[in-house]
Structure 1
C-alpha cells in the first residue's frame, strides 16, 4: 500500500479515478493519533478478508460497487454511498466492479 501522508490542513484530491482506476493503488492518505484515512482500490473480485478494528469505521464508495459483509448480513455499497461499521464488528469487503473508496478508521475509543 502506498503512503501519501499529507500534512495537517492540506487539501487532498479524492475525486474518482475514472479511466485511471485500472492503474491506481490503495494508499494511506493520512494517519493521526486518533484517525487513519485510506484510499482503498480493489479490482473486480478482489477482497479484504474478514477482520475487525477496535474503533468505528466508515466506508465511502467513490466509484464502482462494493459488497460489505457484516457478520451474516451483506450490503451492496454503490458510488456515492457511505456505510458505518461499529467498533469491533467483524467485516469483509469485496469488489463487485473495479472500485475505489475512502475508509476512515477511528484509532482511539472515547472511553
Structure 2
C-alpha cells in the first residue's frame, strides 16, 4: 500500500523511529513542480551509492549518524544537523548507525523571494 502524499497544510510526523528505522522504507512526503520532500532510511553499514541530481538539495539528519560524502570530503551528520548541496554535485551516504533523514530536492530553478 502506497503512503499518500501530504496535502497543503497537513502536519506530518518526522519523529524518530528508533530500532524500527532499520526496517523502514523511504517514502515521498510531497512532490510538486518545484520540489520533492522525502524521508530516507539507511540501516547501519548501508550505503547510498554516489549519484547526483540536477537541482539543489537539503538534507537533515533526524536520527542516527551518517557520513555525507562529496567532492572528496566526508561530513558526519548527527540528529539535528542540516546541509545544503548545490545541484549537479556527486554525493553519497553511508550509515554509521541506523538513520532517518529528511531530503528536499529542488526541481525547478526560480528567483529567490526577497523579504524585508
Q: TM-score, normalised by structure 2?
A: 0.88
How far apart are 1:24 and its partner, in Å?
1.8
> Structure 2 regions of 5+ residues with no counterpart?
112-116
Q: How does 1:25-104 map to 2 (within 5 A)?
A: 25-104=25-104
| TM superposition outliers: structure 1 runs of 4+ over 3 Å | none
Aligned match of 1:110: 110
Q: TM-score, normalised by structure 1?
A: 0.91
How far apart are 1:47 and its partner, in Å?
1.4
Higher strand share: 1
How far apart are 1:98 and its partner, in Å?
0.4
* Alignment root-mean-square deviation, CA: 1.4
